[in-house]
Amino acid sequence: MRTLLLVITFIFTMNITAQTSYEKGMNKAFALWDQQKNTEASQLFERISAAETDNWLPPYYAGLIEIVSSFGLKDETVLTTKLTRAKEFLDTASAISENNPEIMISYALLNTAYIAFDGAKYGMTLSGENAAIYQKALSIAPNNPRVVLSKTEWDMGAAKFFGKSTVPFCKDIERAITLFEAEEQTIPYYPYSGLERAKAISTECKKETSPKN
Amino acid sequence: MKTLLFLLLTLLCFKLHAQSTISGKVIDQQGTPIMGANVYLSGTYDGTATNDNGLFTFETTTTGTQTLIASSISFETYSKSSDINNFKNVTIKLKDDVNTLDAVTVNAGTFKAGDNAKVTALKPLDIVTTAGALGDFIGALQTLPGTSNVAEDGRLFVRGGDADETQIFVDGMRVFTPYSPSANNIPTRGRLSPFLFKGITFSTGGYSAEYGQALSSVLLLNSISEPQEEKTEISIMTVGLGLGNTQKWKKSSLSLNTSYINLAPYQKLYPDNNEWHKPVESLGGEAVYRYKFNNDGLLKVYGAYSAVDFDLTQEDINEVNGVRFGLNNNNHYLNTSYQDFMEKDWSISTGISFASDQTKIKLDTADITDTENSAHFKLALKKYFSSRYKLNFGAEYFITDFKEDYIANTIENEYKFNNNLLGGFAEADIFFSKNLATKVGLRGEYSQLLKEFNLSPRLSLAYKAGQNAQFSLAYGEFFQNPKNEYLKFNTDFSAEKTTHYIANYQYVKNKQIFRAEAYYKDYGSLVKYDTDFTLPTSIYDNTGNGFAKGLDIFWRDNKTLKNTEYWMSYSYLDTKRNYQNYPTQATPDFASKHNASLVVKRWVEDWKSQIGFSYNYASGRSYTDPNTGRFLTEKAKSFNSLNFNYAYLISPQKILYLSVSNVLGTKNKNGYQYTDQPNTDGIFDRRTITPAADRFFFIGFFWTISKNKNDNQLDNL
């Protein structure tokens, strides 16, 4: 009996060990990202992605890091290389999880990185593509707070460009905040973040709407 | 029992914790260490990044056969399967990724536009927002070096070649009649509307073996594969109206675009120097249907219809009452193409294009009806052996069926011919390294009409000399059957021929491009005839020849001035030929020695406006003064034009657009016309041919209606 128990415990422990290697890897990658070690973090996500072939999160994060870290780059060669790589990761992620709104808005973010680099070269084609992505993401997940937030931010950017008031969009930001707060966070490592950004934008909104002295 | 279990557990534990060390070095092909490369065992979490010396070392608990992966940005990913014990002190040599932006490109002779190109000479918006181009993408291409400004013609004249030496292709299929017909001395416009296309490749020489029947140049247009959204576009212009609509379904989409142009009101307000009986009126429609198959296959059907009608009397020094010219043209064009990716890295593209064009011309008392039916069939296969070696081959068949009815007073004549041609090509793209690449091709053509087979070799080579600089060379032989206006009277010809030699230097650095290209073109077997005009009774032969040599310089800078982009082109051309009815070798009247243009665009954020200027200069072209007794030896005045455009975004979806060509009203001269007979003093009188109008104004209002409130027609302007 004792032997059996021991064996069971052992097998069980082994299982747990196997599980935690994913968690250990993911935790370590997030820690690296926190420390601004973008390359190391992205590489670790890439390694996890190679091991976890049916999980969209590791390639999603590997791509996201490349995208986020390409904003502000001055060299087009580096930019294109990074974003091409990022796109490959996102393609891997979306092959695992089709029509995933989180991945879709990352594609839009990728396009935005190109547009931010050279609006005249990339703006014409990619801004239309982005509008279409947001439209589709919103129709799939109308209550996803990140979809609502990033679409609203995109619309606000366009309004700003045309010198229009961004006030009409504030209610959408408020709606995103409500959705964020109501969101049940059940899946480990799911990209739930965004609430803080929404709140920051909301504060800006309130400044604009309140009468100036 | 207990002992056994203990043993088993120990073994298991041992196995679990047995660690082996993986170590080694990652280097590039030159042996330089690569830092920051991601080295790991596939399917495990075990791995690390290389240090400054390219060294790596990590522990793993796995055993047996594993796959070691090494990946790094701008290198091809390395992978090797072997027993884990072999991965000790390994040296991994990564191959350069030849698909990256900083790899060499085989580009002699070629300009690319669009955001897919590695080096973009023209951005998508430039095609349509270049001052003076008036929404015609041909106009924007004329600001690139290698083109000659022939203001009264409007077509593309490339490197000493005439306009018929340039062929235009849509999705790989030939466009047989790309330009709208126009009267003498009035520039024509391209029939294709620019916003249905995404990528444009303009080659001024040395192009791929996939394209033939063009002595000087090819222009390749790719239609949009997938429109982004459903929308309706309305344009109200001083010269007419336009309406467009795009519908999208799950796997397919349809874009329709129609336009109606009537110059009558404009010509009432600003009369030009022609006497119009019926100002230009044209109706055009285009439709693109796309269908995506499950297996990545993409079918595109592009159809266009246009009808042009006008009637005018033009001044003529030999006719007191001028020459009356009326034209009615109907043109149908259909282009169907299919592309698919197959197993084992094969891909296929195939297509059919068909054009039916009928032009009725009234020239004084003569009635001329030209009917041309043409078709192009093509099948091309591509095999992707590796990123370093690609093979492209295919076959195509052209049919041209031409008929002319000529009726004047009592004479009635019919001229016709069938110009059918079979072509085949094969071409390999080879990258020796990230810095050295070549394209080797061969094209064969058999003309049923001329009963002649021609073989044209093509070769280009590119070498990247530094981080920003590259050198390219290109050589090629090009054949083209004689023009319809000769073939209708005589078919006993050989194909006309050119040989191109090109040397190119390019320097690209962060939003700045410098390009210099020198070339030599050798013309042979050009058509000659012995009368003032081509006549059924003329004697024709193929003994003409000529040359063109020159230097093209291009500079584009999007960096130095904030919110401002500009580009400059300069072309030097030295060309002479003895063809048509030339008595001697001479510089043709369409070629100017110096051509220069400057295009400046500035986006003014506060005004929500884009302001653009362009300046075009062409040195005087040659003409014949019969009083001198010499042929094409006189030089006309140079051509100068300053153009202006202004786009104001009223709201994201409403745009007001204003454009003025030749703002300064420079009195340009397109040439001279001399009397057929000398006057009583024995002198041939002349008349200056001036442009129909010195300036042209255009005001338009463009409105887009779509779900997405940010889309607009700025790209159509």
Range 34-53 of B in CB contact (< 8 A) with A: 36, 38, 40, 42-47, 49
How far A117 CA lies from chain B's nearest CA (Å)? 11
Query: CB of B102 within 8 Å of any CB in chain A?
Result: yes
Mutate to test the interface with A, among B115, B130, B655 (most CBs of A within 10 A): B115
Do B430 and B488 fall within a single domain? yes
Query: CB of B107 within 8 Å of any CB in chain A?
Result: no
Residue B15 has pLDDT above 60, yes or no: no
pLDDT category at B2 given cuts 50, 70, 90 is low
Do B549 and B591 fall within a single domain? yes
Residue A19 has pLDDT above 60, yes or no: no
Residue B3 covered by a domain: no
Mutate to test the interface with A, among B66, B75, B710 (most CBs of A within 10 A): B710
- The 3-state secondary structure of B215-259 reads CCEEEEEEECCCCCCCEEEEEEECCEEEEEEEEECCCEEEEEEEE
Query: CB of B120 within 8 Å of any CB in chain A?
Result: yes
B596, β-bridge pairs = B570, B617
Model pLDDT, residue B717: 39
Closest residue to B651, CB basis, from A14, A44, A162:
A162
Pairing of strands B436-447, B452-464: antiparallel
Q: What average pLDDT does chain A have? A: 82
Dihedral, CA of residue B194, residue B199, residue B204 and residue B206, to nearest 10: -150
End residue of a domain, out of B93, B118, B151: B93
* Most trustworthy range by pLDDT among B106-120, B171-185, B416-430: B416-430
Model pLDDT, residue B30: 85
* Token output for A209: 């709407």
End residue of a domain, out of B93, B123, B141: B93
Do B412 and B509 fall within a single domain? yes
Element (H, E) at A161: helix A145-161
Phi-psi category of B109—alpha, beta or left, where left has phi over 0 and alpha has psi -120 to 50? Answer: left
Element (H, E) at B348: strand B346-363
Using the beta-carbon criterion (under 8 Å), do A120 and B565 form an inter-chain contact? yes
What type of residue sits at position B621? R
Pairing of strands B346-363, B319-341: antiparallel
Do B115 and B82 fall within a single domain? no
Q: How far is CA B587 from CA B257, B542, B598, in A?
A: 42, 19, 26
Query: CA-CA distance, B397 to B350, in Å (whole number)?
Result: 12
Q: How far is CA B205 from CA B141, B208, B475, in A?
A: 15, 9, 9
Residue A9 has pLDDT above 70, yes or no: no
Model pLDDT, residue A213: 41
pLDDT category at B237 given cuts 50, 70, 90 is confident
Residues in A whose CB is inside 8 Å of some CB of B read 3, 6-7, 10, 14, 21-22, 24-25, 39-40, 43-44, 46-48, 50-51, 74-77, 80-82, 84-85, 118, 120-122, 124-129, 131-132, 135, 155, 158, 162-163
Model pLDDT, residue B550: 94
Cβ atoms of B436 and B417 closer than 8 Å:
no
What is the pLDDT averaged over residues B11-25? 68
Query: CA-CA distance, B215 to B163, in Å (whole number)?
Result: 10
Do B72 and B195 fall within a single domain? no
Cβ atoms of A150 and A136 closer than 8 Å:
no
Residue B6 covered by a domain: no
Q: Which residue has the higher pLDDT, A87 or B269?
A: A87
Using the beta-carbon criterion (under 8 Å), do B43 and A50 form an inter-chain contact? yes
pLDDT (tens digit per residue) in A106-131: 999 999 898 888 776 777 678 778 88
Using the beta-carbon criterion (under 8 Å), do A124 and B715 form an inter-chain contact? yes
pLDDT (tens digit per residue) in B203-229: 999 899 999 999 999 998 888 887 877
Cβ atoms of B507 and B469 closer than 8 Å:
yes
Do B80 and B120 fall within a single domain? no
Do B87 and B118 fall within a single domain? no
Residue B103 covered by a domain: no
pLDDT (tens digit per residue) in B265-321: 888 888 888 888 988 888 988 899 999 987 778 999 999 999 999 999 988 888 888
How far A51 CA lies from chain B's nearest CA (Å)? 4
Model pLDDT, residue A60: 93
Q: Would you call B275 helix, strand, or coil by DSSP? A: strand
Cβ atoms of B592 and B620 closer than 8 Å:
yes
Q: How far is CA B395 from CA B217, B398, B446, in A?
A: 20, 10, 12
Query: CA-CA distance, B434 to B303, in Å (whole number)?
Result: 41
pLDDT (tens digit per residue) in B676-708: 888 888 899 998 888 877 888 888 888 877 765
What is the pLDDT averaged over residues B531-548? 92
Percent pLDDT > 90 in chain A is 12
The class of domain A21-133 in CATH terms is mainly alpha
Half-sphere exposure of B488 (CA within 13 A, CB side): 19
How far B157 CA lies from chain A's nearest CA (Å)? 27
Q: Which residues in chain B touch residue A77, judged by CB atoms under 8 angstroms apart?
A: 100-102
Closest residue to B123, CB basis, from A120, A127, A128:
A120
What is the pLDDT averaged over residues B476-505? 93
Counting beta carbons within 10 angstroms of the beta carbon of residue B196, is it exposed (0 to 12), middle (13 to 18) or buried (19 or more)?
buried
Cβ atoms of B158 and B204 closer than 8 Å:
yes
End residue of a domain, out of B93, B121, B142: B93
Q: Which residues in chain B touch residue A121, judged by CB atoms under 8 angstroms apart?
A: 115, 120, 123-124
Using the beta-carbon criterion (under 8 Å), do A158 and B709 form an inter-chain contact? yes
Do B89 and B122 fall within a single domain? no
Cβ atoms of A41 and A49 closer than 8 Å:
no
- Share of chain A residues as helix, strand and coil, in percent rounded to the nearest 5: 80, 0, 20
Residue B210 covered by a domain: yes
Measuring CA to CA, which residue among B442, B415, B440, B418 is closest to residue B430?
B440
Model pLDDT, residue B327: 93
Listed in sequence order, the residues at least 6 apart from A199 whose beta carbon sits closer than 8 Å to its beta carbon are: A177
Closest residue to A48, CB basis, from B45, B123, B558:
B45
Residue B358 has pLDDT above 80, yes or no: yes
Do B145 and B39 fall within a single domain? no
Using the beta-carbon criterion (under 8 Å), do B73 and A50 form an inter-chain contact? no
pLDDT (tens digit per residue) in A176-208: 898 888 888 888 888 888 888 888 888 887 776
Model pLDDT, residue B593: 94
- Domain of residue B39: give its range: 15-93
Q: What average pLDDT does chain B have? A: 86
Residue B63 has pLDDT above 60, yes or no: yes
Do B115 and B150 fall within a single domain? yes
If one counts the domains in chain B, the total is 2
* Token output for B370: 């030209």
